[in-house]
Every structure is written in structure tokens, then in C-alpha cells.
């Protein structure tokens, strides 16, 4: 009896401590003058998402609609209190005007920026914090201006043209008039080739060489639904200090080594042979030497930009303090995050855009007419940066695709010091240091108050006549404020170029496997469809060209 009590008492104490640890934040909002979602141990308010009962996109919309009359409400994510901001003006104050209070992202995957630690994710622009982030953003920002994108555009055109030609040859050689393809696979291969040539300086053909090392390693890195990766993600959420202590990274060592060696070899070869190529490796090599400066020349000011393009803040336009010098690992980490963003986010955008063009034939036909006009103006020659920027309907279509299917349904900001919310009316409370502001992008994008009939794919929302009616704080496909996506120009020109070349050669047609309406895969593993997006590429009659 004594032995069992000796075992039982410590066991109960340990279980009690664990229960207290995982539930200590669940009552956080009880003394705040805002409503909050119900919370339970370990899951917080996210059980349906964590147990794969809903998709992340649908989860964000559902919680956004839970309290339609409030500006902000509370939610517990695992153990962390989060303020879900619904009001566009409050969102602007937090993410832009009072950015100093909310400078960092929540450290979901660790932010260990120790220069001797080989974990890469913690050294990326997304993960680093405070002054280190300011310096890195200012160092990298000149690499993403319109003039730099213009220099890189030929590489994107080459990949786009090659892809359209590949499918033309495939249909010709098979003796068939049409072929069904799964869009996520198609556009992941395209995005892989673009980012390989633009960010890593190497040519890869993922259509002809389906299992090339670059593509295979990229897919492994993006397989966030693997049990081992899910465990790491939970580890970073529940025990971040312990994960950093053991130098654990979100990515497998095999993939880290693969991409690290590619960058090291490329840099060594270019340094030794004086090779200059208009790609991200070259720009990062310049940035490492402090040779990239932010210049607002006339061309930059007069550039025609896509509606979704985000502007660089003053943070990005200042010079890095003390002439920041990137370490080799930091440079590799930036290449890696550009790869991951291009590999998954761009392919996701294109997948859902292809779906909408397929099921909305009137939109596809109107866009095709603009493509024909542009092609005629170019004399059948290669697409140019100025030509793609001047395609108004293309921009409307892409902008609406990003509204309906934002690849990032939400983003966040970590509160770095106590912040008082006071709307001058009856709402006044403190967002405490260490808590998180949750920005429900998909919720805002599907709010009928801002976008009437939000489930309808309607590019006319973004026409020259209508776009001024859109509150810019309710349209956030690339985020908001100084921590917005640095690569919006790159992503948009990549998306537009491949749509141009594919629609010029093919019409997108439904097949028996095209799921209408589209349903999203459940769980937190990114934006993807439940059963894939299947589309037929039907060759257009030559006479139409």
C-alpha cells in the first residue's frame, strides 16, 4: 500500500503539472472585454482543424464568421492566446501604423539564428526577428524591385514557353487530340523549374525528367503532413526552447545538405570564373558584399504594377545598419525560403486559377482574346515584361484568383510589448506581450460586406472602374505592412507568364474527374484540393493564332 502511494502521489503531481501547463492559457480571455472561442486542453480552439475535420481555409472563414459584429475576438491555438482581428482599420493600425509593437511572426517552426547552428529555417527572412530582420529585409529588398524582376523575366519566359511546347509535342507524339492532367503536379513542376533557374542558377526540366533530384527533394521538404514533420511542428509549438537547444530543424538533414551543397558549389564556381547571370544567386552574392542599394529611379516609379503587388515599406528602402554582411548559411537560407515559397505557393495559386478558368468559360475566353491581342502586338515573339504588365484583364483574373483562393489563408504577428487597443468608443483592452494577432485573410476575402457574392469568381471586381471601391486592408494575398511578402512581383509575373503561354496554345476543359464544386483537403497541410484538380489541355486550332 505504501509503495503504491509513493508511486501514485508523484504521478498525480506530474499529471497535474502537465495539465496545468497545457491549459494555463485557456482562461486568458475571460477578463478581456471581447468574446472568445471555447478552448479545450492541448487543442485550444483548433480541435476541428488538428483532427482534420476541416481545411485551414474553411476553418479561417468559419471562425471569422463566428462573431460578425465584433472588431476582434479571442482564440487559443494549442496553448497560445491569439487575437483574431476582423476590423480592417484596426488591422491597419496593428500591422502598419504601430508596427513596432508587432514586428515579428510567431516562431512556429523555431527561430534559432545562431550562426553556428546548421538549422536553416530559423535563418530565413520569415523566421528572423527584431533588428536582425530589419537589416536582412533592407539587404534583400533591392533584389526584388521591378527593374531586377525585368532582368529575370527572360528566364521565366523560357520555362513557360518550354512547358507549353512540351505538352504540344506530347499530344503530337501520342497522336491524341487532348490529355487530362492534374494541375497541382503540372504547376509544381513548372514552379520547380522556374525557382531552380531563378533562385539557384541551374536548369532543370521537371516535365521530361520527372524524378530529378531538385524536384524530389523539394517535394520531400514540402511534405508537411508526414508524421515526423507534424511531430516537429508540435515540438516547436509546445517546447520551442528544447527544440532549439537540440538544434532541431523543420527540414530533414538530407534535404538541407542537398540544397546547401548546390548553393555552395554555385557560389564557388561563379566567384572563381567571374560568371554573372541575372538570377537570385547573383543578387544575393551582391547583397552579401553590400553592393545592392535601393534606388527609386524613374523607371521604378512609372512601372505598371499588378493590383496585388505590395509596396516595399520604409524598412526595406533603408540601408542595412552597419553594412550587414550575410553569412554563407544565411544566404543559403534565403535561397531555400524563396524555393519553398515558389515551389508551393505559386503552384497552389496556379492550380486554383486553372480550376476557375476551366469552370468559368466566359472568363477564359475573354482572357484568351487579350492574349491574342498581346501576341499580335508582339509579332508572335516572346512575351516581354512590359507586355505582361500591361495586360489589364490578366491582372483582374489573377487578382480575383488570389482573393478567392489565397494560398496563405491567414498570417500572424507576435506582440513584442504590451499594446493598448482603444477604438475611442467602448472597446479598450491590452494585447499582452507574447500573445499573437491572427490575421484571417480568407475571412476578409470572403466577407460579403467587402466582396458581394464572395463565392462567385468575378474578375470585374478588379476592373479599373471598380478597384478603387476595394478597401486595401481587406485584400491581403501577400500580407500587410512591412512584413508583407517580399516576392510579390516575382510571383505575379511567374503566374501570368505561364497562364499566357498555356492559354495561347490550349483551352482548359472539364473532364469527368474535374470536381465541381471544388472541395479542399482537410487538415493544416496547406491549400490543396480534396481529390486533385483535373483539367484537359485541348489544343487550339492553328487558325485561331
The CA–CA distances, whole Å, from 1 to 5, 16, 519 equal 6, 22, 58
Q: Collapse the DSSP code of 509 into the 3-class scheme (helix H, G, I; strand E, B; otherwise coil) and give the result.
A: strand
Give the contacts of 401 (CB within 8 A, at least 6 positions apart). 349, 352, 353, 356, 457
Residue 472: how many other CB atoms lie within 10 Å: 12
Q: Collapse the DSSP code of 77 into the 3-class scheme (helix H, G, I; strand E, B; otherwise coil) and give the result.
A: strand
CA 356 to chain centroid: 20
Q: What is the dihedral of CA 441, 447, 451, 456, to 10 degrees?
A: 90
* DSSP bridge partners of 500: none
Q: What are phi and psi of 266, to 5 degrees?
A: -65, -45
d(CA 364, CA 361): 5
Element (H, E) at 73: strand 72-77
- The answer on whether 349 is annotated among ligand-binding residues is no
* Concatenated DSSP letters of 453-492: STTS--GGGGSTTTGGGS-GGG--TT-SGGGS-TTHHHHH
- Give the CA count within 13 Å in the CB-facing half-sphere of 172: 8
Angle between helices 392-404 and 347-359 (to 10 degrees): 110
Residues annotated in a binding site for heme:
485
Residues annotated in a binding site:
485
Amino acid at each position: 500500500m505504501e509503495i503504491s502511494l509513493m508511486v501514485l502521489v508523484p504521478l498525480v503531481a506530474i499529471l497535474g503539472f502537465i495539465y496545468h501547463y497545457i491549459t494555463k492559457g485557456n482562461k486568458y480571455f475571460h477578463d478581456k472585454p471581447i468574446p472568445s472561442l471555447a478552448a479545450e486542453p492541448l487543442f485550444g480552439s483548433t480541435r476541428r482543424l488538428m483532427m482534420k475535420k476541416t481545411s485551414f481555409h474553411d476553418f479561417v472563414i468559419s471562425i471569422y464568421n463566428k462573431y460578425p459584429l465584433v472588431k476582434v475576438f479571442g482564440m487559443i491555438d494549442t496553448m497560445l492566446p491569439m487575437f483574431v482581428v476582423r476590423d480592417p482599420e484596426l488591422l491597419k493600425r496593428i500591422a502598419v501604423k504601430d508596427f513596432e509593437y508587432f514586428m515579428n511572426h510567431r516562431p512556429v517552426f523555431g527561430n534559432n539564428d545562431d550562426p553556428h547552428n546548421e538549422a536553416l529555417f530559423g535563418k530565413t527572412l520569415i523566421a528572423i526577428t527584431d533588428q536582425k530582420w530589419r537589416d536582412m529585409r533592407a539587404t534583400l529588398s533591392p533584389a526584388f524591385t521591378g527593374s531586377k524582376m525585368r532582368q529575370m523575366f527572360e528566364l521565366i519566359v523560357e520555362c513557360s514557353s518550354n512547358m507549353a511546347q512540351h505538352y504540344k509535342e506530347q499530344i503530337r507524339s501520342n497522336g491524341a487530340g487532348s490529355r487530362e492532367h492534374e494541375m497541382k503536379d503540372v504547376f509544381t513542376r513548372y514552379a520547380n523549374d522556374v525557382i531552380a533557374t531563378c533562385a539557384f542558377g541551374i536548369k532543370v526540366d521537371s516535365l521530361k525528367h520527372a524524378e530529378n533530384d531538385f524536384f524530389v527533394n523539394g517535394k520531400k521538404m514540402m511534405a508537411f503532413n508526414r508524421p515526423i514533420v507534424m511531430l516537429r511542428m508540435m515540438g516547436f509549438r509546445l517546447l520551442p526552447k528544447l527544440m532549439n537547444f537540440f538544434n532541431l530543424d523543420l527540414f530533414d538533414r538530407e534535404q538541407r545538405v542537398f540544397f546547401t551543397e548546390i548553393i555552395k558549389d554555385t557560389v564557388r564556381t561563379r566567384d572563381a570564373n567571374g560568371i554573372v547571370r541575372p538570377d537570385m544567386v547573383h543578387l544575393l552574392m551582391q547583397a552579401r558584399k553590400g553592393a545592392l542599394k535601393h534606388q527609386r529611379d524613374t523607371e521604378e516609379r512609372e512601372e505598371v504594377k499588378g493590383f496585388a503587388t505590395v509596396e516595399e515599406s520604409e524598412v526595406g528602402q533603408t540601408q542595412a545598419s552597419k553594412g550587414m554582411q550575410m553569412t554563407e548559411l544565411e544566404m543559403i537560407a534565403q535561397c531555400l525560403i524563396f524555393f519553398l515559397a515558389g515551389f508551393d505557393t505559386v503552384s497552389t495559386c496556379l492550380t486554383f486559377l486553372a480550376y476557375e478558368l476551366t469552370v468559368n468559360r466566359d472568363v477564359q475566353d475573354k482572357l484568351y482574346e487579350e492574349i491574342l491581342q498581346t501576341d499580335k502586338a508582339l509579332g508572335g515573339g516572346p512575351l516581354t515584361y512590359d507586355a505582361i504588365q500591361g495586360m489589364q484583364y490578366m491582372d483582374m483574373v489573377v487578382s480575383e484568383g488570389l482573393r478567392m483562393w489565397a494560398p496563405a489563408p491567414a498570417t500572424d504577428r507576435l506582440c513584442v510589448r504590451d499594446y493598448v487597443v482603444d477604438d475611442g468608443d467602448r472597446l479598450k483592452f491590452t494585447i499582452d506581450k507574447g500573445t499573437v494577432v491572427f490575421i484571417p485573410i480568407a475571412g476578409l476575402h470572403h466577407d460579403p460586406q467587402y466582396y458581394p457574392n464572395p463565392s462567385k469568381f468575378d474578375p470585374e471586381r478588379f476592373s479599373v472602374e471598380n478597384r478603387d471601391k476595394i478597401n486595401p486592408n481587406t485584400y491581403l494575398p501577400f500580407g500587410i505592412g512591412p512584413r508583407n511578402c517580399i516576392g510579390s512581383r516575382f510571383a505575379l509575373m511567374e503566374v501570368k507568364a505561364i497562364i499566357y503561354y498555356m492559354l495561347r496554345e490550349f483551352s482548359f476543359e472539364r473532364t469527368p474527374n474535374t470536381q465541381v464544386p471544388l472541395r479542399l483537403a482537410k487538415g493544416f497541410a496547406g491549400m490543396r484540393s480534396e481529390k486533385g484538380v483535373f483539367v484537359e489541355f485541348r489544343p487550339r486550332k492553328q487558325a485561331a493564332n
